[in-house]
Structure 1
Amino acid sequence: MSSPAAAVRLAVAALLASVAAPALAEAGTAAAESDSAAEAQGSGTTASQATSIIVTADREGDRLPDQSGTLIFAGKLGDIAVLSDIAPVPTRNLRVALADIPGLLVSEVSNGAWASLSYRGLGEPHESWNILTLQDAVPAVPDMYSYPAGYFIPPLEAVERVEFIRGASGLLYGPQPGGAINYVLKGPRRAAGVEGQARLAAGSWDLRSGLASLAASNGTLAADGFVQYSEGDGPRRVNSDHQQTTARGRAHYLGESVTATLALDYYKGEFGEPGGLSRARLAADRRDGSTPRDRIAIERLAPTFALEWQASDATLVTARAFYSRFERTSWRQAGGSFGQVTPDANVLIRQRQVFDTAGIDLRARHDFGSSAQHSLTLGVLGHTSDAPVFVDKGASNADFRGTAGALARVSRSGDTLAAFGEVKLGLGDVHIVPGFRVERLRQKVVETLDLATGSATGGGPGAPNGPLGNRSDTQTVPLYGIGVTWDASETLRFVANASRGFKPLLYNDGVTFQAGVDAAGTFDASYAFTVEAGLQAEPAPPLRIDASLFRVEFENQVGFLAGPLPASPPFGAVGAGGARRQNVGSMRNQGVDLALRLDLVGPEGLAKAEGGSLRLSTNLQLLDADFTSGVADGFTPQYAPEHLLRSTLAWIGTDGARAALIFTSVGDQQGADNNVADFFLPGYEVLDASVEWPVAGGFSVGAGVNNLLDEEYAGRVRPGGGGGFDPGAPRSFYVSIGWKG
């Protein structure tokens, strides 16, 4: 371990700090806080808020503010899904939770083990590698640079809203070209008193879940926490079960000029992996499986701390850091093939990855000018990770300890130092926001052991798998962007942004453990340049329209070509259902995002009503994506559907009643960058419905139907052993009972 890395880890262990402060907006006072922050924003003064990446204290409550805390959002386009507008979601149904975010593709995982998201066709969605995933603005991934896999999803019942910064415009949060998604949890309680909540749910395939939370405050000191447990058999007939425990505790100091939050998050999930299906087997029985013994377990422990200091009326300082320990352990039967049942006699291969990751984030914002109409924000981030890999072979199909011998040992480490800044120049109704980010990255991956599996039915590890991998990479990467916001009137705003993003090399680039997938010996990092221009209009009180045009130039995409492929140095031959992972070329993705919200009934709708409102919200992305150079030249990038449409019809009652009908339509998709027919994913349409109704004494009852019309479809396909089509879940039901007091 390098001395700078050790210093960062030591500092984080002492501080127990976080990369950004949790959201400090209590639900009962959110409207009042939104109004006061909007007034401060309009006058150019600083509203002191220890906040998440985006605070909904803005023009409409679900659009970006011009600035919040040490963050500037003027000149950027983003989206917010307010989960309090729909009934609580007791499952990991991201299709429902993210329905109000245009263009964010949910590639559904049937066992719910991880989030699989992508945006504007910028790469394979598997484990959300191209998007920065955060919880309360803290990176919720094993490593935000070298392994940004979306293994952790907070309980959606505990999420207040989901926030998304589009594409490369998120320079102040990380380099990922696909944008930043942030799950903002409820709380803390600001008003003096105590509040408790509980919810139980049961549903199809023996689903059982429960969540209990407690929050207390005296107005200055506050504490809150929750525990959630969920288990079930899952939609597939064999090996689709899950068991998850999520817990969080926080303590807050809510002073007038200083706020501080200390938090501890814990998550443990165990999942069966039923495997993919061939197209024929998918058509015959979508609930079938191919890997009856494969398993995966995820464990995360993340203590965090954040401090925000309002140094003066014009200056705000935040000091933040984070530490997390992720353990990812998987068991896969040797000798599997694409879409077919793995022979039962084959032994298990255990792969264990451990991630110790830490970071410190320092930021300051200063408002200046005769009426404080300008703002400057500067910051630095120090980040380090250590992530060894251990691969062992079992002696049988029931040996989960790997007693037959070691197959691979890999040491991996990385350190990053980033400096960034933006300045918002307020020129009347126009804001101009230039920004920069400079990354200094160091990564190292060293194989010390790499042996062939040997006999799939029990023979010991065999001869070496060629030369041992040894990769060391150091880069200095300058990134930049500029945004413009023009308020043409109180009901019409124009926003434009041009930004350059960067996708660092991953630990897995060049060292792969997936059977049936060959990998290039060297990879080049990928760069994205995004231009987007749009408007936000309110032509009438009941109607709001958002529209934008975008174009993304993405250089040196890392993807895969599906087999069969002949041997070509330095690659070996790849059979049908396998894949070759490499830089596949540069792409040009362009299109339009449209979003409409119409209040049909109250509060400002076409018709008036007492006690609630009926709202229709619809968003549509039209996408034209093509590779323009490289080995995939002329092909359509994988997971870049020509259209993605979502519509939500929601009843939002003032007494807590909620009901929603959500429609999703996804166009045809390619599952491989060379558009092999075996990986083609036909388009599909899905309808979901949910309701939550208060009864008496603080109790409420709820119910929901997912995939109401029982659409048969597959939203993702994976190459290699155990791969194949992952079928979307059939129609399912759930009921729930909740209490709040």
Structure 2
Amino acid sequence: MSLPPVPFRPIIAALLATVAAPALAAGEAPAADVGEGQTASTTGSSQATSIIVTANRDDDRLPDQSGTLIFAGKLGDIAVLENIPPVPSRNLRVALADIPGLLVSEVSNGSWASLSYRGLGEPHESWNILTLQDAIPAVPDMYSYPAGYFIPPLEMVERVEFIRGASGLLYGPQPGGAINYVMRGPRREAGVEGQARMTIGSWDARQGLASIAGSNGQIAADGFIQYAEGDGPRRVNSDSEQTTARVRGHYLGDNVTATLSLDYYQGRFGEPGGLTRTRMEADRRDSSTALDRIRLERFAPTLAIDWQVDDATQVTARAFYSRFERESWRQAGGSFGQVTPTANVIIRQLQVFDTAGVDLRARRDFGGQGQHSVTVGVLGHTSNAPVFVDKGASNADFNGTAGALSRAQRSGDTAAIFGEVKLGFGNVQIVPGFRLERLRQSVVETLDLGLGSATGGAPGTANGTLGNREDTQTVPLYGIGVTWDASQSLRFVANASRGFKPLLYNDGVTFQAGIDAAGTFDASYAFTVEAGLQAEPVPPVRIDASLFRVEFENQVGFISGPLPASAPFGAVGAGGARRQNVGNMRNQGVDLALRLDLVGPEGIAKGENTLHLSTNLQLLDADFTDGVAEGFTPQYAPGHLLRSTLAYIGKDGERAALVFTSVGDQQGADNNVADFFLPGYEVVDASFEWPVAGGFTVGAGINNLLDEEYAGRVRPGGGGGFDPGAPRNFFVSIGWRG
């Protein structure tokens, strides 16, 4: 039963007034410089390896520099997960609520992260954002297939860090920015600690987590394992089963630290398919694909070394490898939002990614007071990624015994050199930077029986021409940032940077019914200008505000059907799409954020307990300025994105949070076809965790408290349609730490 309507507009107006009420002057004195993998202060016994070093809630802005990285002249955001109750499952809507403008396009079965930023492209699988775990890429291929298939257990994440847009030149070229999941640990004090948590919830959800960490003060080790399964919010084929594990060993020397990690993840998910708008409004728990499945598996060893050579010099080294498998089974012949005929055969697709990389960096301080710094680095990256497509003999044949349909061999190599210089002149810091990429990408078809070309060549028949594409590019990128500390409580920051989105392995390929793809694609470039300020008018109040403008060239998107045949494309029916470069766009807007301690530690009632309010708002104006989509609004560029979190942080470990999310209207296709329109929505989530005795805690939560009916994403083609947001659901948990 739905609850009575709630007057959201007055709520929104009040929240906006809260943000805008103080004079939007902002700033903060520069944060202390601490080494990468260290923190300015600690909570408990663990510290986290991080690309952005901030220790606790009172220090959740970027330091000027950390380890071999320079953050002066950049704008970024941090969500400190230790300040809210543990987030079970994959509720990124709650976990990322403190990051302004980061859009979570919710996937009902939780199989991957779909994130986008400032309307810079479709959020599907987070293609336009670089996803990192402890500063190391956590995607199949950071250049050619940067899909967000892996999300670490959020209960084991200390905080999530985000560098905005193209200013993340030191991490990679992606124009949408870099997001880093910072895991807990290692333990630095001698001793042993452990924790466990059991969670149950709606739709037979069950989740167990156990972790242990030990140290003698110099040698440390830790590990965790999480298992989760459930039936999911849709009635048919929405189930999931996941196992995530990590084991690490650490050497914690005075001047050198080293960490060897081994990560494993496997997930199996039902794919219930999309719904037409009519079917979704009739029953949001309905499904359209009863047999579609996906399997994801990741094995990733990494080595990280941090060396404090002397007081002025630091060196870091990262070596990483991953084997990622993505295997899917889809019934042939589906259509947009409709039930796929049960008799249709299964098409099996397997993509395998073997990826390796080495990242070396050094930072040197110089000048009379060490007020200047230079950092330089190199990255070598390689991948090998074959793809296999096979046809099943029936709707029960998941092995593809009827024969091969497509084979393609894909590979890529990248060498990058990058650097920045921080020049300090009193209260002003100027930070120019550069990145030079040399990329080679090859995709060669050896078999193509009419499913669409993986390389831009014409689809083959048994005797047809097969595609063969090899691209080599040298791409210079650049940026400059400036900070000015006008006072101890007022800082101005500005940044201008150029980003780059390389061609993807699947540009020019489609294995989905109703989707056509261009024969050739051009790489996309972004130029971002942003100016902001940070202020602390009084100790319990902090304000951030910025204006931004992004020019994005040669956006890769899709034009939705119905579309007539026009060379080199075939006809596309209603609900289908053509994937291609759709044109240049101009996105501009404002980001506002307020952090306010209503009660303690320095609020109205000083004390050890804290009642904390954080609110952020992005207002976005986005348009295509030329190309086939000229005059249209880019997909997934809502006019507003508002989040507010009211959190209680108790001195004895009590946590409670109420999270409000409001998303404006969105277009689901770059030519704004009405069939893909996504109306705006508002969602409220509530949770708590409370200590009881002997290290035990109890927790509970309700997601979508007001049972809002909405959809945050829509996909074209067979099996596509609207993916409805989950109805109101609950969870309860019991935890232990000792």
Q: RMSD across aligned C-alpha pairs, in angstroms?
A: 1.8
State how far apart, in whole Å, the 1-side matches of 2:462 and 2:492 are.
60
Secondary structure at 1:709's aligned position in 2?
coil
Q: State the match for 2:42 in structure 1.
A: 29
Post-superposition Cα deviations, 1:231-272, rounded to whole Å, max 9, x if no partner, equal 000000000000000000000000011110000000000000
Answer whether contact 1:289 1:341 (CA < 8 A) is retained: yes
Q: State the match for 2:668 in structure 1.
A: 671
Answer whether contact 1:23 1:184 (CA < 8 A) is retained: no
Q: Which moved more, 1:477-486 or 1:599-608?
A: 599-608
Secondary structure at 1:84's aligned position in 2?
helix
How far apart are 1:318 and its partner, in Å? 1.3
Secondary structure at 2:278's aligned position in 1?
helix
Answer whether contact 2:451 2:510 (CA < 8 A) is retained: no
State how far apart, in whole Å, the 1-side matches of 2:44 and 2:589 are.
35
How far apart are 1:321 and its partner, in Å? 1.3
Q: State the match for 1:142 in structure 2.
A: 140
Partner residue of 1:558 out of 553, 556, 559 = 556
State how far apart, in whole Å, the 2-side matches of 1:640 and 1:292 are.
31
Post-superposition Cα deviations, 1:267-299, rounded to whole Å, max 9, x if no partner, equal 000000000000100000000000000000000
Q: State the match for 1:482 in structure 2.
A: 480
Answer whether contact 2:39 2:54 (CA < 8 A) is retained: no
Answer whether contact 1:363 1:380 (CA < 8 A) is retained: yes
Structure 2: which amino acid aligns with 1:29? Answer: T
Q: 1:32 to 1:481 in 2, by over 3 A?
A: farther
Q: State the match for 1:595 in structure 2.
A: 593
The aligned runs of 1:283-298 (5 Å cut-off) are: 283-298=281-296
How far apart are 1:350 and its partner, in Å? 0.3
State how far apart, in whole Å, the 2-side matches of 1:221 and 1:58 are.
25
Structure 1: which amino acid aligns with 2:116? Answer: S
Structure 2: which amino acid aligns with 1:328? Answer: R
Structure 2: which amino acid aligns with 1:325? Answer: R
Answer whether contact 1:25 1:187 (CA < 8 A) is retained: no
How far apart are 1:57 and its partner, in Å? 4.9
Post-superposition Cα deviations, 1:429-484, rounded to whole Å, max 9, x if no partner, equal 11100000000000001111111379xxxxxx994596322111000000000000
State how far apart, in whole Å, the 1-side matches of 2:451 and 2:518 are.
20
The aligned runs of 1:264-663 (5 Å cut-off) are: 264-452=262-450, 463-464=461-462, 467-609=465-607, 611-663=608-660
How far apart are 1:162 and its partner, in Å? 0.3
Structure 2: which amino acid aligns with 1:147? Answer: Y
How far apart are 1:307 and its partner, in Å? 1.1
Answer whether contact 2:515 2:577 (CA < 8 A) is retained: yes
Q: State the match for 1:734 in structure 2.
A: 731
State how far apart, in whole Å, the 2-side matches of 1:587 and 1:560 are.
14
How far apart are 1:25 and its partner, in Å? 5.2
Q: State the match for 2:456 in structure 1.
A: none
How far apart are 1:187 and its partner, in Å? 0.7
Secondary structure at 2:42's aligned position in 1?
helix
Q: State the match for 2:60 in structure 1.
A: 62
Post-superposition Cα deviations, 1:376-428, rounded to whole Å, max 9, x if no partner, equal 00000000000000000011111110000000001000000000000000111
Post-superposition Cα deviations, 1:582-606, rounded to whole Å, max 9, x if no partner, equal 0000000000000001110011112
How far apart are 1:721 and its partner, in Å? 0.4
How far apart are 1:514 and its partner, in Å? 2.1
State how far apart, in whole Å, the 2-side matches of 1:298 and 1:23 are.
31
Post-superposition Cα deviations, 1:638-672, rounded to whole Å, max 9, x if no partner, equal 00000000000000011110000000000000000
State how far apart, in whole Å, the 1-side matches of 2:55 and 2:481 are.
20
Post-superposition Cα deviations, 1:319-370, rounded to whole Å, max 9, x if no partner, equal 2111000000000000100000000000100000000000011110000001
Post-superposition Cα deviations, 1:107-158, rounded to whole Å, max 9, x if no partner, equal 0000000000000000000000000001111100000000000000000011
Structure 2: which amino acid aligns with 1:349? Answer: I
How far apart are 1:32 and its partner, in Å? 11
The aligned runs of 1:198-209 (5 Å cut-off) are: 198-209=196-207
Q: Is 2:725 the partner of 1:712?
A: no
Q: State the match for 1:19 in structure 2.
A: none
Q: Is 2:715 the partner of 1:691?
A: no
How far apart are 1:511 and its partner, in Å? 2.0
Secondary structure at 1:29's aligned position in 2?
coil
| Structure 1 runs (4+) greater than 3 angstroms displaced | 22-28, 30-33, 57-60, 461-467
State how far apart, in whole Å, the 2-side matches of 1:269 and 1:623 are.
35
Q: State the match for 2:111 in structure 1.
A: 113
Answer whether contact 1:168 1:175 (CA < 8 A) is retained: yes
How far apart are 1:313 and its partner, in Å? 1.0
Q: 1:32 to 1:542 in 2, by over 3 A?
A: farther
Structure 1: which amino acid aligns with 2:94? Answer: V
Answer whether contact 2:246 2:264 (CA < 8 A) is retained: yes
State how far apart, in whole Å, the 2-side matches of 1:159 and 1:324 are.
20
State how far apart, in whole Å, the 2-side matches of 1:31 and 1:267 are.
28
Structure 2: which amino acid aligns with 1:526? Answer: S
Secondary structure at 1:620's aligned position in 2?
strand
What is the identity percentage for the equivalent residue pairs of Structure 1 and Structure 2? 83
Answer whether contact 1:58 1:64 (CA < 8 A) is retained: no
Q: 1:453 to 1:150 in 2, by over 3 A?
A: closer
Answer whether contact 1:23 1:50 (CA < 8 A) is retained: no
Answer whether contact 1:25 1:188 (CA < 8 A) is retained: no
Structure 2: which amino acid aligns with 1:637? Answer: P
Structure 2: which amino acid aligns with 1:548? Answer: S
Q: 1:24 to 1:311 in 2, by over 3 A?
A: closer
Structure 1: any 5+ residue segments left out of the alignment?
A: 1-21, 34-48, 455-460
Q: TM-score, normalised by structure 2?
A: 0.93
Answer whether contact 1:50 1:69 (CA < 8 A) is retained: no
Secondary structure at 1:311's aligned position in 2?
strand
State how far apart, in whole Å, the 1-side matches of 2:484 and 2:512 are.
50
How far apart are 1:27 and its partner, in Å? 11
Answer whether contact 1:23 1:187 (CA < 8 A) is retained: no
Secondary structure at 1:280's aligned position in 2?
helix
Partner residue of 2:175 out of 170, 177, 183 = 177
Secondary structure at 1:269's aligned position in 2?
strand
State how far apart, in whole Å, the 1-side matches of 2:41 and 2:200 are.
29
Answer whether contact 1:330 1:350 (CA < 8 A) is retained: yes
Answer whether contact 1:59 1:65 (CA < 8 A) is retained: no
Q: State the match for 1:216 in structure 2.
A: 214
State how far apart, in whole Å, the 1-side matches of 2:508 and 2:195 are.
48
How far apart are 1:516 and its partner, in Å? 1.3
Structure 2: any 5+ residue segments left out of the alignment?
A: 1-34, 453-458
Q: State the match for 2:20 in structure 1.
A: none
Structure 2: which amino acid aligns with 1:624? Answer: D
Answer whether contact 1:26 1:190 (CA < 8 A) is retained: no
State how far apart, in whole Å, the 2-side matches of 1:563 and 1:464 are.
29
